A and B are shown apart, each in its own frame.
Chain A
Amino acid sequence: MTAHTGPHPTRRLILQGAASVALIGLGNLPFAPVRAAANDKYPEEVFKLKNEADAIKALYGKTAEPSDKVRLDAPEIAENGGVVPISVTTTLDKVTSISLFVAENPNALAASYKIAEGTMPAVANRLKMAKTSNVTAIVEADGKLYSATKEVKVTVGGCGG
């Protein structure tokens, strides 16, 4: 190792440290043992909704405003649409939940995490994506919703220069 690559813990390791949060996300599997933030019940009906706006409304009952305090880390082009690594962190205070939506998936809500008080608001997940889509992360903080969106391209591949 050279001197200029210090042994800083990476975000990945930090996320592993927050495994109690990260590991409960199971993509868009319907049995994800996660409770929606808005209430303490498993949001079975929300996971069935097709449309992203409908799902956000059903889950939270309000709309989100885009915020640069929500960091959504996702690849521009997925290496494998079946397992797209994605992570969300935020510098917002009083975070109570983080949810992930894939607009073009058959069901828009992919995962929703309740963030317990005093927990680092950082989650990571792997999304199954059938095709190119916007991915949206919503952070609920102090009763308000904040979002970040990024397009993740799912391509047939090949033909690189």
Chain B
Amino acid sequence: MPIRRRDLLKGTAGIAASLGLPRLARGAETASIYDIERFGNARILHLTDTHAQLNPVYFREPSVNIGIGEMAGRPPHLVGHAFLERFGIRPDSADAYAFTSVEFEKSAGRFGKLGGFAHLKTLIDRLRGDAGEKRTMLVDGGDLWQGTGLANIMQGRDMVEVANLLGIEAMTGHWEFTYGEQVLRDNLEHFKGEFLAQNVFLTEEAAFNDAPAFDKATGRVFKPSIIREIGGHRVAIIGQAFPYVPIAHPKRFTPDWTFGIREEELQKHVDSLRGSDKVDAVILLSHNGMDVDLKLASRVTGIDVILGGHTHDAVPQPIAVKNAGGTTLVTNAGSNGKFLGVLDLALDKGKVGDVKYHLLPVYSELLKPDPAMAELIGRLRAPFVTDWLEKIATPDRLLYRRDNFAGPVDDLICSALRTELDAEIALSPGFRWGVTALSGQPLTMEDVLAETAITYPETYVQEMTGAQIKDVLEDICDNLFNADPYYQQGGDMVRAGGLSYTCSPTNAIGSRIAELKLANGKALSAVRHYKVAGWASVNGQQGAPVWDVVGKYLRSGRMFQERLGTGVTLKGVDGNPGIAG
């Protein structure tokens, strides 16, 4: 295994003295890529969208992440070599492996897994130590409590314990809400940090019925922000939860709450922090998604930096956005614990003098796991993990999810749904979480859960006409490719099994999807009824949880049902740098 470490060091900074260290010496405290030059007087460390991945993971970044309109060709809608060129990253380097899909399988063997909370703990403690006492803060952008079988069965409580040991001081949320209000509140009782959300309000009915809220006057359910003294200056952190929770997920989880981007309320709050509280810096801890954040930054004034998440975009450098009040920097810090954002600020009275930002890949081979965190993770997993370690299949190809239209993980889920539920067509949601599995490596139930563990996993079979199917595809496609980011929800396209179609992302809703065909090549009829299987419906369903359906299918020795490939032919986006060449 020292080969991996050698490759890592070559690929990045390359210290000769570290070459050939035995396995036990991995994670030597001197891994130089984490030596960051001292800058400024305040350091904010940003994690986001870890999706409860306690241990290091493989995660292949997308090879298709198309931006259209103003978003075409600009970060985060760059993939592959276009991404490497934009950010000056060498194609065969460890960073190329961390940030893109370029030669993923080859590099996975060289550079190993990324992330893991014991490794993060080591890195975070070190970066805090480097900056000095009372000069740092650790924040989390949400999607911390969901994404694994363990988080699902413990309803996020495992991650609260991990967050407390890690020292997360403030967070906001998205999937956290899908455990429902009671679990959310119980978990927050145990969370030592603050849960912030300026954009979650009581519905009028709930306010009328005197439902609990942080601030009855405004109807705000949660504290919108906190002010911390960091490096001798006052820094405000505002939380921005995912704006579309009751739309993207079953409304039954949050019946009393209403969300939204809430630009106007945000502007008022920023103005109040600056005017009344005289803070020196305003940071928005956002789960909007990067395109939404970029638009928001052009319209809301007075925010210095938006630390963004949700869309899982690993963007190495902040994007500067001008607005009527000055400039706001926008970041997005990737997913699954692969990256740690490091925002160094030179604060002055009432303003941010200068900023340096690093998005550090968390190379597990270079970081010694923190013993206390490793012990906690082991203890949390122990009661459940033996049930999940049974090897149920060995894939003959790389399994990944992240891409705009399809990926082998979802091909597999759709194959399982169609076979086990005897359906002509399967639909599977375009989630962006879910880890990558290497070809030839056995899959366990824990791996299946890492792709499927949600609080509404029930499968369904229903009859739909061809016209209804097309409408669903059009509707979801508009969530990705609406020219106005405020109308995007941040997921990827619903995955279709047993169905192929063409998609013209630059067209308007209603005219993007065409040439729909069944697996047998026959054209989909608008009026005929088809048997459609799926899961993760926003309407209540009664079928078996999807992980059981997929597990049963894999145990039967089957894998992929038909031809590989997306089944989606793109039109009108030739040369878009959001498609890997």
Residues of A within 8 A of B (CB): 1-10, 12-13, 73, 75-80, 85, 132, 151, 153, 155-161
CB distance A79 to B224 under 8 Å? no
- Bound state CA distance, A155 and B509, in angstroms? 11
CB distance B260 to A75 under 8 Å? yes
- Bound state CA distance, A93 and B538, in angstroms? 45
CB distance B490 to A160 under 8 Å? yes
CB distance B218 to A159 under 8 Å? no
B14-22, B129-137, B243-251 - the one binding chain A? B243-251
Q: 15 new A-B pairs (CB below 8 Å) besides A10-B219, A77-B487, A160-B174?
A: A2-B225, A4-B227, A5-B223, A76-B487, A85-B204, A153-B478, A155-B489, A158-B538, A159-B429, A159-B479, A160-B247, A161-B311, A161-B430, A161-B433, A161-B490
Which of A12, A85, A156, A161 makes the CB contact (< 8 A) with B491?
A161
CB distance B251 to A79 under 8 Å? yes
CB distance B215 to A1 under 8 Å? yes
Query: Inside 8 A of B226's CB, which chain A residues have their CB?
Result: 2
Query: Inside 8 A of B258's CB, which chain A residues have their CB?
Result: 79, 85
- Report whether over half of chain A's contact residues are helix, strand or loop; otherwise say mixed: loop
- Bound state CA distance, A122 and B139, in angstroms? 39
Which residues of chain B from 202 to 235 have any CB-CB distance to chain A below 8 Å in the complex?
204, 214-215, 217-220, 223-227
Q: Mark B147-181, 1 if CB is under 8 A from A, else 0.
A: 00000000000000000000000000010000000
- Bound state CA distance, A77 and B509, in angstroms? 14
Report the count of interface residues on B (CB-CB < 8 A): 60
Residue B357 interfacial (CB < 8 Å): no
CB distance B217 to A7 under 8 Å? yes
A11 to chain B, nearest CB (A): 8
Residue B104 interfacial (CB < 8 Å): no
CB distance A160 to B489 under 8 Å? yes
Query: Inside 8 A of A4's CB, which chain B residues have their CB?
Result: 225, 227, 236, 269, 272-273, 276-277
Query: Inside 8 A of A5's CB, which chain B residues have their CB?
Result: 215, 218, 220, 223-224, 269, 272
CB distance B264 to A159 under 8 Å? no
A122 to chain B, nearest CB (A): 14
- Bound state CA distance, A10 and B262, in angstroms? 13
Q: Mark B465-499, 1 if CB is under 8 A from A, else 0.
A: 00000011001101100101011011110100000
CB distance A9 to B217 under 8 Å? yes
Which 3 pairs from chain A and chain B are nearest by CB?
A160-B248, A161-B491, A159-B429
A–B complex contacts, Cβ < 8 Å, 24 sampled: A4-B227, A4-B236, A4-B276, A5-B220, A5-B224, A6-B276, A10-B217, A10-B219, A13-B217, A73-B264, A76-B484, A76-B486, A77-B244, A77-B247, A77-B489, A155-B475, A156-B471, A157-B249, A158-B494, A159-B429, A160-B244, A160-B491, A161-B289, A161-B431
CB distance B220 to A76 under 8 Å? no
Kindly name the residue among A2, A3, A151, A158 whose own CB sees the greatest number of chain B CB atoms within 10 A.
A158
Please, which residue of chain B has its CB at the minimum distance from the CB of A132? B509
Which of A7, A75, A157 makes the CB contact (< 8 A) with B248?
A157
Query: Inside 8 A of A85's CB, which chain B residues have their CB?
Result: 204, 258
CB distance B277 to A159 under 8 Å? no
Please, which residue of chain A has its CB at the minimum distance from the CB of B278? A4
Given contacts A4-B272, A4-B277, A77-B489, whether A160 and B242 have CB atoms under 8 Å apart is yes
